[in-house]
Amino acid sequence: MPASEFAPGLAIQGFTPPLSLKDFQLIAFDMDSTLINIECVDEIADAVGMKEQVAAITEAAMRGEIPDYKESLRRRVALLEGVTVADMERVYTERLQLNPGAEALVQACKAAGLKTLLVSGGFTFFTDRIRDRLGIDYTRSNVLEVRSGPNCGELTGRMVDQPWGDICDGAEKRKMLLETCAQLGISPKQAIAVGDGANDLPMMGEAGLSVAYHAKPKVREQAMVAIHRGGLDRLLELFA
């Protein structure tokens, strides 16, 4: 079914508004280019003069042109070797901003009783801070390995395996959404999933409401809601 324009810059397909936030119990967000304004891996790479190369891989991965997301992320992280923790701190303080409407949407959902989940192919250095800043309940993302000993405080170009697995890709985002729903005792159809890239599609496909925010074409086409003008809080226009 083709999407129809509900309001300027806000398209819907597969349902008729208004909805009720009370019908949902969980909202899951991607981070990079969804909750925040940047792709963190690209900005980290700028510290070692590799932004152009890394950004090209990121763009291809988000468009779904690289089928193996894990391999694409390993390739990008390998190019970050030598970046310092101080470099990443500068990315956070000088370049990273919440996207317009992010805080308003999160707070409205929390006020309506929804739990919040942040699932990211990015890194805990940033997701933990966004979690604390917005009061998000659950997170899953990747851990960058940092050297100890000589050159301590520099990235090694590798990631650290975690108890749940190695890399948070699209399959892991879907798994985390389903696990969180099970933990809460709710159906995935009581969840909202918000993202912008191809690796968000697996979790968006499980949710009762899928939302594409300033997203890649493939994601806009498959989402039930596509916001292509304005902030994240435009989603609230669909709720009574």
Residues known to be catalytic: 30, 32
Cβ neighbourhood burial of 193 (10 Å; 0-12, 13-18, 19+): buried
Dihedral pair phi/psi, residue 36, rounded to 5° = -120, 170
Q: What Å distances lie between residue 192 and 18, 63, 110, 161, CA to CA? A: 15, 21, 13, 28
Do 119 and 141 meet the contact criterion of CB atoms below 8 Å apart? yes
Cβ neighbourhood burial of 110 (10 Å; 0-12, 13-18, 19+): middle
Question: Beta strands of the chain (E only): which ranges?
Answer: 4-7, 10-12, 26-29, 115-123, 138-146, 155-160, 191-195, 209-213, 225-227
Q: How many CA atoms lie within 13 A of 70 on its CB side?
A: 10
Q: How many CA atoms lie within 13 A of 3 on its CB side?
A: 23
C-alpha–C-alpha distance, residues 131 and 145, integer Å: 20
- The three-state secondary structure class of 177 is helix
